Amino acid sequence: MTATVDRRRTNRAPYLLLIPAVGILLVGMGYPLIWQVVTSLQEYGLKQQFGQPAPFVLFDNYVELATDAQFWTVVAKSIAFCLVTAVITLAVGVLFALLMNAVGRAPRIILQIALLLAWSMPVVAAMTVWIWLFDRRRGAVNYLLDMIPGVDINRFNWLETPTTFFIVASVIVIWMSVPFVAFSSFAGLTQVSDEVLEAAALDGANGRQRFFGIILPMIKPVIAIVFLLQIIWDLRVFTQITMLQDAGSKSSEFDLLGTYIYKLGTKSQDFGMASAVSILVLAITILLSWFYIRSLLKEDES
């Protein structure tokens, strides 16, 4: 009887230890979320910033968004942008991880230092360099491309049209995110048994078969959570788009959800509508990531 009571107390210990962390999360994240939900149901503008009561309009903000063609255009662009950048980031990051796993100690350390430097560089500093690289007058990208025979790209403005604008933005976001994916995937690769790979090679499996048949299934949980995080981060990208807009055009054609919310709240002073968009972004994030969350839950149960 005493052993049963001790076992129950022991089983409760992890849950008791989690209470402080859960409490901090509820206070730190719960209050802003509740404020966003309440504000999204109100008409909250510049007058309310100076103390005037905010009247409740219930779901009028959401109805207005549902009938706003510009909003759905921004949503479509944001989803396409985050999916493309997340997939490319995952592919490039896994390739870097395989390279780190294949080369010797010295090249691996050099590659890891290079990735760490790219990852640790402040966003504003990195964006300043990237904007200079793509500058239409003094940019190194135009200079190098113009040296290719048959390519005339002198003074080409990459930030003038939405297509080239988002190509530049994708390159920058991918460059900043690849190190995280590479290090996470490399950590997963270190858990793959060399004996299993050697046995597969002796059985006649080539590199492609070993990767898709052994390595990829074993690091799948790592790749799944990394891809989920990339989708969340790339859907909410803000700083890179804002600084590119400052260097190019501030037109709404160049907006993603982050800059769209910023313009609604800070520039238009329509905090009720901005809060409604924020709640919808949260819903979109949950919908996009639900498949991976469900897969992770199933793996935990099994």
Mean pLDDT of 264-284: 86
Q: Domain residue spans in the chain? A: 83-269+278-301
Q: Provide the residue type at 203 as one letter.
A: D
Q: 145 is written with which tokens?
A: 């491309």
Assess whether pLDDT exceeds 90 at residue 267. Answer: no
Mean pLDDT of 187-215: 78
**pLDDT bucket at 189, cuts 50 / 70 / 90:** confident
Q: Cα–Cα distances in Å, from 97 out to 75, 101, 117, 187, 225?
A: 32, 6, 16, 8, 16
Assess whether pLDDT exceeds 90 at residue 175. Answer: yes
Inter-residue contact 136 to 129 (CB < 8 Å): no
Q: What is the dihedral of CA 36, 39, 40, 41, to 10 degrees?
A: 140
Region of poorest pLDDT, from 6-20, 98-112, 273-287: 6-20
Region of poorest pLDDT, from 47-56, 126-135, 256-265: 47-56
Give the separation between CA 169 and CA 88, rounded to whole angstroms: 13
Ranges of beta strands (E only) in the chain are none
Instruction: Please tell us whether the domain made up of 83-269+278-301 is placed in CATH 1.10.540.10.
Output: no
- Closest C-alpha to 246, from 259, 231, 234: 259
DSSP 3-state of 42: strand
Assess whether pLDDT exceeds 70 at residue 299. Answer: no
DSSP 3-state of 152: coil
Assess whether pLDDT exceeds 90 at residue 173. Answer: yes
For the chain, what is the radius of gyration of the CA atoms?
A: 24
- Closest C-alpha to 165, from 134, 193, 139, 137: 134
Number of H helices, E strands in the chain: 15, 0
* Whole-number pLDDT of residue 172: 94
71-101 pLDDT per residue, tens: 899 999 999 999 999 999 999 999 999 899 8
* Whole-number pLDDT of residue 248: 82
Mean pLDDT of 115-128: 90
Inter-residue contact 272 to 54 (CB < 8 Å): yes
* Whole-number pLDDT of residue 149: 85
* Whole-number pLDDT of residue 28: 81
